[in-house]
Amino acid sequence: CIYIYRGNIKGKLGTRTIVGSGFSNGDWEHIALSYDSQTSQMSLYLNGNHAETASGVTSYTESSQTVYIGKSGDSAAFFKGELDQLRVWSKALTTIELRTRALLTDLSSVSSDLRAHYPMDTGQ
């Protein structure tokens, strides 16, 4: 889960939450949350820059947790803003991969790692 609370970007997985600062309301921002099952680390990135990391994060499996887009879990807190795209990758991206792939429009060269892509502008 990625969410914005009181001007801070937060990433949450299981019971662990990490906080990154530097978010600007009204500006386009690239936000990424990465989970590495090999190291049990969750990392938060803002505009391609590493913001925060948490270690010892409970492992995530596709069947163990529900993924919400634009909503904070079971609460009634909805995202008040616009989403340009959402991409889900099958691996934890390195900082360089994250920066390189952030602005890609042609995803054919990286499609083997891409699990889901929601461009948010096609009406689908």
Query: What's the pLDDT tens digit per position in 62-87?
Result: 556 666 677 766 667 777 777 788 88
pLDDT band at 9 (very low <50, low <70, confident <90, very high): low
Q: Characterize the bridge pairing of strands 16-20 and 31-36.
A: unpaired
**Three-class SS of residue 10?**
strand
pLDDT of residue 63: 57
Taking the CA atoms of 94, 96, 100 and 102 in sequence, report the sign of the dihedral they define. positive
Count the Cβ atoms, other than its own, within 10 Å of residue 44: 22
